[in-house]
Amino acid sequence: MHYFGLDIGGANIKWSDLDGNASEVPFAIWQTPERLPKVLATITANFPSDAKVGVTMTAELADCFETKRDGVKFVVDSVVASLSQFYPLFYQTTGNLCTGSEAIDNWEQTAAANWHATSSYLFSIDPLIDSGFVLDIGSTTTDIIPVAHGAPVTSHQNDLERLSNGQLVYAGVGRTPVFGISTEFQLRDSLVTIARENFATMADIFRALNETTEELDSNDTADGRPASRHYSCKRIARLVCADSEELEIEEIESISLQVKADFISLLARQLTKVIKLHPEVPQTFQTLGRGSFITDAIIHKSLSESASSVPTILPYSDNIALNQSVPALAVAHFRAQLDLRN
């Protein structure tokens, strides 16, 4: 028997199995939602005939759906229609897997449940490490989850509640527009206000600083031009209404470093908030996601102003594909565990 997990997001679909295989397929669901069944069928075309699938999602928030309830129903119906041969079950914030009809009936627990699957999985696979914080930085969002004895401290939360308590930060290292992170830059002895237009994304910032490869977040750049360091620098120059002929490369790098510092500060503040709300949780951090390369800096900045002990930081993997597909791996794992119990 083979087990696979799918994490169906608004911009990407990730899959993983229990053998260390993982991948991501770009799919902007808000543009062509009707293509989802076909895309899912293509992704799973080479799955073995005895495969079983677990599913989690965040795509229901896409603005092509009138409500999140409608989004959950659409995603569930698409999965059931295209993958019925794999007996798909859907993960919920109860920690359980359920059928498609149950997932729709209890849509609140099905919507955006991948954070719960990730944190439950990471702190359950090692009996010696069952409590701590998950810091998962993706291309679009960041999750900061306190976990005690193998389970999220607070479950059954929706995205609004998680935004309120700091456990969800709608900012990531890929698609997030730079103007959502920074408001002004120090440039040529002046403080320059940012152009509030989607001229560049965080992917451009880290690409310009050579902190990510050009292949990452290579789809749908702000100007539609290639996802290369060369074009990222051109996009960054437009943040101050200039172009790459008006700014020196050192100035573009300086802007990028300032944005990076603002990004670290934003996430460090939210991490501090979550830590203070959960003093009972030990300062052990499971770090993962596309932005795992920056998690250490965020943790150390968050803890630098307190008398905290030295944190234990446990990076999930050096493999980018595995790092960003943990929610899919988690639901594959729980799908297999369910069959073992039955």
CA distances in angstroms from 30 to 15, 27, 64, listed in the order given: 20, 9, 5
What is the pLDDT at residue 44? 97
Residue 21 lies in a domain: yes
Burial class (CB in 10 A: 0-12, 13-18, 19+), 76: buried
CA dist 2 and 200 (Å) reads 41
Name residue 15's beta-bridge partners.
6, 23
* The pairing of beta strand 184-187 with beta strand 190-193: antiparallel
Q: Please choose, from the candidates 303, 244, 296, the residue with its C-alpha nearest in 3D space to the C-alpha of residue 273.
A: 303
Is residue 264 situated within a structural domain?
Answer: no
d(C-alpha 223, C-alpha 178), whole Å: 13
Domain-embedded: residue 9: yes
Sort residue 75 into left (φ over 0), alpha (ψ -120 to 50) or beta: alpha
Position 42 in a domain? yes
Asked if residue 208 belongs to a domain, the reply is no
pLDDT at 308: 62
CB count, 10 Å around CB of 2? 16
* Average pLDDT for runs of 10 along the chain of length 342: 96 95 95 97 96 98 97 98 98 97 98 96 92 96 96 88 96 97 97 97 96 73 93 97 95 98 98 95 96 96 77 91 94 95 85
Q: What is the span of the domain harbouring residue 100?
A: 2-127+318-341
The pLDDT of residue 217: 61
Amino acid letter, residue 117: A
pLDDT of res. 304: 86
pLDDT at 321: 87
**Alpha-carbon gap, residue 44 to 42, rounded angstroms:** 5
Answer whether residue 83 is part of any domain. yes
What pLDDT was estimated at residue 256? 98
Question: Phi/psi zone of residue 55: left (φ > 0), alpha (ψ -120 to 50 degrees), beta?
Answer: beta
What distance in Å separates the CA atoms of residue 3 and residue 47, rounded to the nearest whole number?
9
> What was the pLDDT predicted at 127?
85
DSSP-derived letter for residue 23 is E
Q: At residue 236, what is the residue type?
A: I
Looking at residue 219, its pLDDT comes to 65
How much is the pLDDT for 90? 98
In a domain, 121, yes or no: yes
Domain assignment present for 332: yes
Q: From residue 282, how far is each of 130, 157, 311, 341 by CA, in Å?
A: 10, 22, 9, 31
- For the chain, what is the domain count? 1
pLDDT at 216: 63
Backbone angles phi, psi at 98, to 5 degrees: -140, 170
Measured between alpha carbons, how far is 51 from 17 in angstroms, rounded to an integer?
A: 10
User: Residue 111 belongs to a domain with what CATH number?
Assistant: 3.30.420.40
